[in-house]
Amino acid sequence: MAYKGKYKVKDVSKYLGDPTKVRFLSLWEYSLMKYLDACINVVGWCSEDVKIPYVCGTDGQNHLYLVDFYIVLNNGKKLLVEVKPYKQTK
């Protein structure tokens, strides 16, 4: 069963995008959002705000890939994170 919905950001000072437009497409994404919102080592995060342009090899058209999460840690590290079930990584 797929879970979808809007996420209400608790700590809006940490959210790097528009905190009124945060949505999740799976229970795993929802769980990660709750974790990022509460984690003291996370100083900033956003969901589906980082867009990577690419040209598709099959249709030759320009597309945008939306990265699931962009995370900034308190040690300065910046992460791009994809949330996928194992069967979709093969």
- Alpha-carbon distance of 39 to 52, in angstroms, equals 27
For residue 1, the model assigns a pLDDT of: 55
- In degrees, to the nearest 5, what angle opens at C-alpha 67 toward C-alphas 61 and 72? 145
For residue 2, the model assigns a pLDDT of: 65
Tokens of 24: 């999740």
pLDDT category at 66 given cuts 50, 70, 90 is: very high
- Alpha-carbon distance of 49 to 56, in angstroms, equals 20
Active-site positions read 29, 68, 84
Tokens of 35: 């974790």
This prediction has a pTM of 0.88
Residue 78 has pLDDT above 60, yes or no: yes
